[in-house]
Structure 1
Amino acid sequence: MQKLTPFDPPIPFTRPTLDEATIASVGDVLRSGWITSGPKVQEFESELSGFFGGRPVRTFANGTSTMEVALRIAGIGPGDEVITTPISWVATSNVILTVGGTPVFVDIDPITHNIDLDQVEAAIGPNTKAIMPVYLAGLPVDMVRLYDIASRHKLRVIEDAAQALGSSWHGSRIGAIGDLISFSFQANKNLTTIEGGCLVCNNDDEARLAEKYRLQGVTRTGLDGMDVDVLGGKFNLTDVNAAIGLQQLIKLGDFQDQRAKLAQRYFDGFAQTSVVEQGLELPVADFAHSNWHMFQIVLPLDRLDTDRAGIMADLKALGIGTGLHYPPIHLFTLYRERGFTEGMFPIAERIGRSIITLPLFPTLTESDVDRIVAAVAHVLETHLK
């Protein structure tokens, strides 16, 4: 195990990978005089469409608006229920409330930490209109089972694939298959536009509706014709963001190869420690489907003399940044006020209070991973009862 010293530089939880070509592309856009949605957005959408097998794609200002628009395209509104997971960024369920729908949570699988498909069918009721799975850390759910359930119950599927760009299911890219698929390009994602996202649609009619929803519901005809027939918002991506995205898309394959290499280094490193035998849970070692957006561990809190915050503080003192993805949504005040209580989803609650995300980004080195593993093992061993 690597020796720990107090003199090593800090390792951040995440760091965007932006090279000089990307910086130069932004400068080109700024000098062009066209900095909002324009030719670069169109080019980015075209390249993304090719990436997703020719399906129509529309870009947005963020990955929250993509989900909201997907729900609106699917016709979700007041009185409609959408089944989803309590372990996600809160935007996943917030957008259901935003369109007037009702989120129906289902507990998670203890191994994958994704929505438990075994429990989804029991949650379907007369008002259920859609399922919104989340691909936590880039690992998709069983797509065959998901769409079998949706097909038999005539439900729409809005895939929250915010973290899953480049992930696949048995050789097919997430986004190239399925119903409505939402991706995020936020700063820590595998591909970033700083802020941004995209929605993969089924056909041109849905794509045109997405365009309306992202810009105040406006349809333009000719030089002076304009109409508004749906209530839209202001969700458009700029050419500055799109220029960054185009450069990132070129490098996405290399980014993912490096992420997978680093993930394997984590597994190899933890195998040389005793902490897994002492209860530390590692992610599913799925190198066929996951894009390795994050590397998450679940702490054996019942065997420790401190809580998660204490472990994170000790790691910070050793120069290791960590993340928290995610606290259970149903225990936030907004959702408790809607009737959700502790004990309703016990697996999500256990994972939600025990999970930590370790650094994983393309410029991280194998030596960095070795240091992180050594730090985690040292801290856990220090706190074992």
Structure 2
Amino acid sequence: MEKTTIPFALPFIDDEEVEEIVKTVRSGWLTMGPKTVFFEEELAQYIGVKHVVAVNSCTAALHLSLIALRIEKGDEVITSPYTFAATGNVIAHVGARPVLADIECDTYNIDPEQIMEHITSKTRAIIPVHFAGQPCDLKEIQEIAEDHNLWVIEDAAHAIGAEYAHKRIGTFGDTTCFSFYPTKNMTTGEGGAIATEDGKIADRLRKIRLHGLSKDAWKRYSAVGSWYYEIEECGWKYNMTDLQAAIGIPQLKKLDWFIETRRRLASIYDNALRSNKDIVIPAEKPGRLHVYHLYPILLKTFYRDIFIQKMAQCGINCSVHFIPLHLHPYYQETFGYKPGDFPNAEQVYEQEVSLPLYPGLSDENVETVLRSIEEVLRNNE
């Protein structure tokens, strides 16, 4: 087979984003200003939620959500072990304990039954992670939260545009946090956002994303603004900039096409791999719109690391999502977690490989990936 290098992920950027960036640079508004405000309004309308607060990363979105909901030292927050470091780290940053609950074997999302088993008198919130772009069982999670008076902060880093029960993610939790990192389903270069229906939560988020100031830069320096401000509480420097929003505005216009393309490419993978005895393909639960930020397969008979190495030799770059939190030294040394605590997460991790999937990937590229998989598996026999 002729070696063809296919990257694991690439952002889709064209002239529309470039033109918006140029216009923004020439406008003189580089930090948070009119473009950021417009992006927030457009994203809120897309999601179908009252308020969106744009920030510089999903990590910032999660951190600010915990602060806005007054999660503090001594509290406990339940989340998935099968996630990126940011989800657990922000809990530790506010002095709370990340309480991990194992995942479902088919969706790789947090298991509501496991959430129930980990609730204590110190539990204040749940952070469900919509892994790979498939929504968690939000009905069960919301019922648990209501029964135990808990906040729900959704980690939707993978799930912009995803749907649960015909409603977009961002309309369910007390806050929902999105990522616009370059590999995500839409990008602002770096960036994130928080969606909420609660005006009081939104007001506090807007304040603490920028030092706790009573006015942001747009309200101080625009033609209708005033220079005067007050520091009303101790905040952070987490605001989005107009340069980031300039990328996000045209990206949002393309998002439905991005999702449609990802789902179509995922269906090609599905149809080719569904009957393969060596592979488990990702499931899509009824009543949920999976947006396929990732296409994670499980290898039943092939050592994962060797598979990735062999695929790289074929010119196909794959990845792994994720090393479970409880296997990292920090979580073991700080919170006492150890291997074996979350067997479902560990089993998925040991077998998981994320295949290339992004809008710029052609059907021919996908066929090349599939031929490479067949070749690698065949040579293992």
Bin for the TM-score computed over the shorter chain: over 0.9
2:305 corresponds to: 309
Choose the corresponding residue for 1:132, options 127, 132, 144: 127
Which residue in the other structure is 2:2 paired with?
A: 6
What CA RMSD, in Å, does the superposition of the two structures yield over aligned residues?
1.4
Given the superposition, is the C-alpha separation of residues 122 and 131 from structure 1 closer, same or farther in structure 2, using an over 3 Å criterion?
A: same
Equivalent-residue separation in structure 2 for 1:73 and 1:381 (angstroms) = 53
1:277 aligned partner, one-letter code: K
| Partner of residue 355 from structure 1, selected from 352, 355, 380 | 352
Tell me the amino acid that sits aligned with residue 226 of structure 1. Answer: Y
Q: Counterpart in 1 of 2:377?
A: 380
Aligned to 1:281: 280
Indicate the residue corresponding to 2:50 in structure 1. 55
Say whether residues 1:108 and 2:114 are aligned partners: no
Q: Which runs of 5+ in 1 are unaligned?
A: none
Deviation at 1:229, TM superposition (A): 2.8
327-336 or 220-229, which moves further after superposition?
A: 220-229
Identify which of 220, 223, 230 aligns with 1:227.
Answer: 230
**Aligned partner of 2:324: which letter?**
P
Aligned counterparts of 1:152 and 1:206: Cα–Cα separation in 2: 21
Q: Deviations over 1:63-84 (max 9, x none)?
A: 1000000111111010000000
Letter of the 1:46 counterpart: E
Partner residue, 2:295: 295
1:202 Cα offset (Å)? 2.6
Matched, 1:177 2:176: no
Could you tell me whether the CA contact under 8 Å between 2:318 and 2:355 is conserved in 1? Answer: yes
Cα distance in 1, alignment partners of residues 162 and 272 from structure 2: 24
Counterpart residue type for residue 144 of structure 1: K
2:157 to 158, 162, 184: 162
Matches within 5 A, 1:229-268: 229-268=232-271
Spell out, residue by residue over 1:286-332, the C-alpha distance to the aligned partner (whole angstroms, 9 max, x if none). Answer: 584211111001112xx33xx32211111011010111110111110
For 1:216 and 1:383, how far apart are their aligned partners in 2?
Answer: 57
With structure 2 as the length reference, what TM-score do the two structures score?
0.94
1:332 is matched by which residue type in structure 2? H
Question: Could you give the per-residue CA deviations for residues 324-369 of structure 1, whole angstroms, max 9, x where no partner exists?
Answer: 1101111101001020001110111111122111011011111111
Specify the code of the residue in structure 1 equivalent to 2:158. Q
Q: Give the equivalent residue in structure 2 for 1:29.
A: 24
CA contact (8 A) 1:182 1:197 kept: yes
Distance 1:111 1:235 in 2: 35
What secondary structure sits across from 1:225 in the alignment? coil
Corresponding position of 2:368: 371
Q: 1:195 to 1:11 in 2, by over 3 A?
A: same
1:193 aligns with 2:188: yes
1:96-143 Cα shifts (integer Å, max 9, x gaps): 000111000011101100001111111100000000000000101111
SS of 1:259 mapped into structure 2: helix
Please say if residues 78 and 118 of structure 2, whose CA atoms lie closer than 8 Å, have aligned partners that are also in contact.
yes
Do the aligned residues in 1 keep the contact of 2:134 with 2:284 (CA within 8 Å)? no
Deviation at 1:281, TM superposition (A): 1.3
- Deviation (angstroms), 1:176: 2.3
Q: 1:44 & 1:87 partners in 2: Cα distance?
A: 31
Q: Whole-Å Cα distance in 1 between the matches of residues 227 and 19 of structure 2?
A: 36
Q: Give 1:224 deviation, angstroms.
A: 4.3
- Is there any run of 5+ residues in structure 2 with no aligned partner, and where? none
Give the aligned residue type for 1:328: P
> Is this contact kept in 2: 1:79–1:127, CA < 8 A?
yes
Deviation at 1:377, TM superposition (A): 2.4
Give the match's secondary structure for 1:219.
coil
The answer (yes or no) to whether the contact 1:269–1:370 under 8 Å persists in 2 is no
Aligned residues: 371
Letter in 1 for 2:360: T
Q: State whether residues 324 and 357 of structure 1, in contact with CA within 8 Å, keep that contact through their aligned partners in structure 2.
A: yes
Of 283-292 and 361-370, more deviation after overlay is shown by 283-292
Structure 1: how far apart are the matches of 2:294 and 2:285?
A: 12
Displacement of 1:231 after TM fit? 2.0
Question: How big is each residue's C-alpha offset from its partner over 1:15-45, in whole Å with a ceiling of 9 and x where there is no partner?
Answer: 1100111111111111111111100000000
1:141 matched to 2:136? The reply is yes
TM-score normalized by the length of structure 1: 0.93
Alpha carbons 1:162, 1:183 under 8 Å: kept: yes
